[in-house]
A and B are shown apart, each in its own frame.
Chain A
Amino acid sequence: MYSERSGMMEMGEVMEQVPAKTGASDDAPTLLLSVRNLNVQFRTNDSLVHIVRDVSFEVRAGEILALVGESGCGKSVSSLAVMRLLSDPKTTRFTGEARLLGKDYFALPEEDMRRLRGRDIAMIFQEPMTSLNPLLTIGRQIAEPMFEHLRLTASQAQVRAIDLLTKVGITDPERRLTQYPHELSGGMRQRVMIAIALACNPKVIIADEPTTALDVTIQAQILDLLQSLVREMNVGLVLITHNLALVARYADRVSVMYAGKIVESGTTRQVLETPRHRYTEGLLAAVPRLDVPRMARLQSIPGQPPSPRNFPRGCAFHPRCPAASEACRSQPELSATDKGQRYACIHPATAWLATTQTNTASDPANDRLVRAPVLQVRGLTKDFHLKRGGTVRAIQGIDLDVPEGGTLGLVGESGCGKTTVARTLLHLQAASAGTATFRGSNILSAGKSELLKLRQKIQVVYQDPFTSLNPRHRIGQTLAEPLLVHGLCVDKRAARARVEELLDLVGLPRDIAERYPHQMSGGQRQRVGIARALGMKPELIICDEPVSALDVSIQAQIMNLFADLQNKLGLSYLFIAHDLAVVRHISDVVAVMYLGRVMEIGTRAELFERPRHPYTRALLAAVPSLGDENRKSQAHAVVKGDLPSPLNPPAGCVFHTRCPIATDACRSTIPPAVALSQTHRVACIKAECP
């Protein structure tokens, strides 16, 4: 093939020292990248922060290595250091050794390193929206590394660019070459990024959270593509992610990072099925999963991940570790080896799955779920009329019931209208049509004084703990203000007592009242957000993606808090999320939305065990879960194509453009909701078929 050969001809000095690819032999895949004892220090005003500590890993041809960890663990900084993109000697210092095909390129002068970057090691970044230059065409951006590194002519580059776009699954590549980034969807742009990364036949690709900004169905498409390209082209992929479920589905080997160090590494099955380090064990127990019966409680890791400014001495995990002993405090970490699995733990875990699986929850009786809902939404519709003409049909007549004392989970991809539902119910936007009955009164048509009363009964917890608190108010002030404004507390003394009560309720220390939001972690802020809502003594709390901005270990804490508060205070939740595992864990009833319509609604068991709508099935197939490491060979039924624009939703069933079983009838008629049981309704004309 032309492209392959041209790449080979232009191989630089790094390639020359190495024998040619060994073809399809999988016995001894070539060692492509090996990183030894990588250390990165950042100099701040007053101190030296040791952010990456003695990190070592290696990637072989045709292999996916996952570097997994929570935010601040140093995984992204490690990848930048490996690319030698941390080169400002005034603020950063990095030491260690990185060998690409045996040659230590950390020792190369910067000019030679520049030639290596993009040709032998390529990088894919998280944000497809901002990592392409908006002023250059797609074709120009794919061709650029080929001009730079391979010295191809314009016509050669064009042929190869078309070839690459076809390879990454972009249809009509000739036309795409002349388009600009804004004309492509997020998924398409990430495909283009992959094409650029592949442009010079790199040996190693580093992908830093490549799908975190994308929807589940698109994420599955992109990672399936990356996986097949890795196998086919025999490149090594370093996949940096916080998502253990992605690791389970796609990685061959995994290294778990905590506080700047690799605490455990091994094959994916070893690490995920028999984790030895206590942190890995805790992390795995904290993730809600789809492959096992639902657990009553998630096992959260207590405390916060440490700040790089003061990593604990000894094993950095010991302040949060249930098995920690005095030895963990003083003893330097050791690396034990057991069938190739390495871990740095003095008290390794054993047989952890047995303990978690006993902890399953029983489902609530169905009759409780249909009896007298606390909130009844009927025919809710919201249109946005754009100034430049056109109407976004954000919600197209949906019916929902939030069970009394229970949780309705609302799940869907971006642009499906789930956040608009929340904003409309909260009167932050006027609804276009429909009713929402809460305790006998219609929220949507409430007058000013009635609304003020309703606002106390219906509260909200927001997604982003970084913007949901006023940065200039102390926490005590934030919590006390609504109490005083609404006269819920007669004076400041009463308010202060109530604030302390609220802080106790959400598990925060009382002295946090004196702090400002920026002095707290994301999880703590989210607790404050919950306390603020609870201050009004609400009956219904609308939660708009309340855990999606949090790290896994913190997410489990907050979800347990939601469950505890529900039991203690009899709260009802409308819980909006895009993460199916989270929704499954917390909800009694689940509604699946797509482009402004409810596709399917049913109890947790009905929806997750007997899904009937093709979209629900597609979502469930696309979402990775722990346990996927065992069925890697199975092809996932990944739904094709992009989400249509809500500005111009498809006629008939909105899902017909991506539906594997769509017929002509689907293209013309809007399917009515078919009741399969008292609680299970499906909007699909083929719902009756098994």
Chain B
Amino acid sequence: MRNPFATAVSDGLWTEAPKHSGFLHRYVLGQPLGALGFVLIVAGFAVSLLAPFIAPYDPLATDYGNAVAAPSLAHWLGTDSFGRDLFSRILYGGRTAFLIGVSASFVGCTIGLFVGIASAYIGGWVEMIIERFLEILLAIPITVLALVLVSSLGRNLVYGIDLNLILAIALPIIPKMARVARSQALTIRSQSYIDAAVTLGFSDLRIIFRHMAPNITGPYLVLLTAFISQAILIEASLSYLGLGVTEPTPSWGLMLAGNAFNTAMTAPWIVIFPGVAIAVVVFAFSMFGDALRDALDPKARADR
């Protein structure tokens, strides 16, 4: 039995991916915005990982005497209506954002990618059923879909992460990615190198994984990074409804939700700083995704 995942051809014989050091080198020098994105992501990741050492306060500690305090030397970014230190909460909130945002987007996009390719490659009634099913998923509002899933599956905590929450956020991403993947796959399917692969007697799985999927890397990465921000926002909505992350666990989405907007007129820092955090992370992922796409495309490489 031939293993479709085998990369026998690429390893050792002809290098499939560029060598790592050269790759990063070219990548950082050739794509300054991508490098900036990469630095921001690494920094954000490190900061949220090291939150316990950096944070000046316990993110859960309330101090009603100091509620809705403006940014000051004691509280760099101010405090919220419970008197909790915003800076500490943003640091800890980064953990939630990275974990749930990245993993939900990754799971959703990856499943969507292969569903889309399979649908385009197999065609016929399989395609018909997949497409109709995806349309049904698309027809249900994202929040409602996630709501149904979370409330019917309950919680499934592993190391303090709710796997069902990730699944619920990933599910609405699947049909969107699958649509894009399918349209790309249909184009690729009509290229004669896929016909050539068929006439060379390659198995369907090999054709899907080795010949079609790598040629959809570009749109995949772009959507992956775009959906990270969406995932963070869905997480916020679910948290607001009491189905996602629950108070008092710090989460950027949660910090924007609730009564944050009621106080926004008088204490704008309560919404500005979590908003900025989301924006910076989304920007970083978009830039990184664009650069990664260019770097992975052999045509865009400088060494001709």
Contacts and interface: CB of A to CB of B under 8 A. Distances in A.
A532 B196 contact: yes
Contacts of A495: 9, 13
Contact of A464 (B10, B12, B192, B215): B192
Contacts, number: 91
Interface stretch (B172-180, B200-208, B252-260, B284-292): B200-208
B10 A477 contact: yes
B7 to A, nearest CB: 10
Interface string B271-296: 00000000000000000000000000
B201 A476 contact: no
B214 A492 contact: no
Contacts of A519: 304
A485 B206 contact: yes
Given A463-B192, A469-B193, A492-B8, A474 B199 contact: no
Contacts of B2: 485
B200 A455 contact: yes
Contacts of B153: none
A426 B199 contact: yes
Contacts of A426: 195, 198-199
B179 to A, nearest CB: 20
Interface in A458-488: 458-460, 462-464, 467-474, 476-477, 480-482, 484-486
Nearest to A519: B304
A34 interface: no
A471 B210 CA distance: 12
B192 A455 contact: no
Interface string B1-40: 0100000111011101000000000000000000000000
Interface residues of B, number: 27
A251 B237 CA distance: 72
B298 A514 contact: no
B213 to A, nearest CB: 10
A518 B299 CA distance: 6
Given A459-B199, A484-B8, A485-B202, A468 B192 contact: yes
A147 interface: no
Interface in A512-538: 513-514, 516, 518-519, 529, 532, 536
A482 B206 CA distance: 11
Contacts of B215: 470-472
B199 A460 contact: yes
A658 interface: no
A477 B202 CA distance: 14
B191 interface: yes
B14 A514 contact: yes
Interface in A424-483: 426-428, 451-452, 455-456, 458-460, 462-464, 467-474, 476-477, 480-482
Contacts of A532: 196, 200
B211 interface: yes
A477 B200 contact: no
Contacts of B202: 481-482, 485
Specify which of A423, A470, A474 lies most central, judged by the most chain B CB atoms within 10 Å of its CB: A470
Nearest to A532: B196
A536 B200 contact: yes
Contact of B12 (A474, A481, A492): A492
B196 A468 contact: yes
Contact of B9 (A427, A428, A456, A480): A480
A536 B201 CA distance: 10
A471 B201 CA distance: 19
Contacts of A459: 199
Contacts of B10: 477
A496 interface: yes
A513 B192 contact: no
A620 B149 CA distance: 70
Contacts of B191: 467-468
B192 to A, nearest CB: 4
B200 A472 contact: no
Contacts of B206: 485
Interface in B185-199: 191-193, 195-199
Contacts of A428: 195, 198-199
A473 B207 CA distance: 13
B9 A477 contact: yes
A485 B211 CA distance: 14
B201 A456 contact: yes
Given A471-B215, A532-B196, A480 B201 contact: no
B201 A472 contact: no
Contacts of B197: 470
Interface in B146-162: none
A467 B195 CA distance: 10
A480 B199 contact: no
A477 B304 CA distance: 18
A485 B200 contact: yes
A496 B206 CA distance: 21
B22 to A, nearest CB: 14
Contacts of B9: 477, 480-481, 484, 492, 495
A302 B296 CA distance: 34
B193 A482 contact: no
Given A469-B193, A536-B200, A496 B13 contact: yes
Nearest to B197: A470
B201 A462 contact: no
A671 to B, nearest CB: 34
Contacts of A427: 198-199
Contacts of A486: 200-201
B196 to A, nearest CB: 6
Nearest to B13: A492
A477 B211 CA distance: 12
A472 B298 contact: yes
A472 B214 contact: yes
A529 B195 CA distance: 12
A462 B196 CA distance: 8
A551 B16 CA distance: 31
Given A459-B199, A481-B9, A471 B14 contact: no
Nearest to B6: A484
A513 B199 contact: no
A469 B299 CA distance: 13
A444 to B, nearest CB: 15
A426 B195 CA distance: 9
A467 B191 CA distance: 5
Nearest to A516: B298
A121 to B, nearest CB: 37
Given A470-B215, A471-B215, A472-B298, A485 B196 contact: no
A470 B8 contact: no
Contacts of B195: 423, 426, 428, 460, 462
A443 to B, nearest CB: 12
Nearest to B299: A518
Nearest to A469: B193
A463 to B, nearest CB: 7
A474 B200 CA distance: 17
A485 B207 CA distance: 12
B14 A476 contact: yes
Contacts of A463: 192
B193 A518 contact: no
A669 to B, nearest CB: 38
A482 B200 contact: yes
Given A470-B211, A476-B13, A486-B200, 4 more contacts: A460-B199, A462-B195, A471-B299, A532-B200
3 tightest A-B contacts by CB? Answer: A455-B201, A462-B192, A476-B14
28 contacts: A426-B195, A426-B198, A428-B195, A455-B201, A460-B199, A462-B196, A463-B192, A464-B192, A467-B193, A472-B298, A474-B14, A476-B13, A476-B14, A477-B14, A477-B16, A481-B210, A484-B8, A485-B2, A485-B206, A486-B201, A492-B9, A492-B12, A495-B9, A495-B13, A516-B299, A518-B298, A518-B299, A519-B304
Interface of A: 423, 426-428, 451-452, 455-456, 458-460, 462-464, 467-474, 476-477, 480-482, 484-486, 492, 495-496, 513-514, 516, 518-519, 529, 532, 536
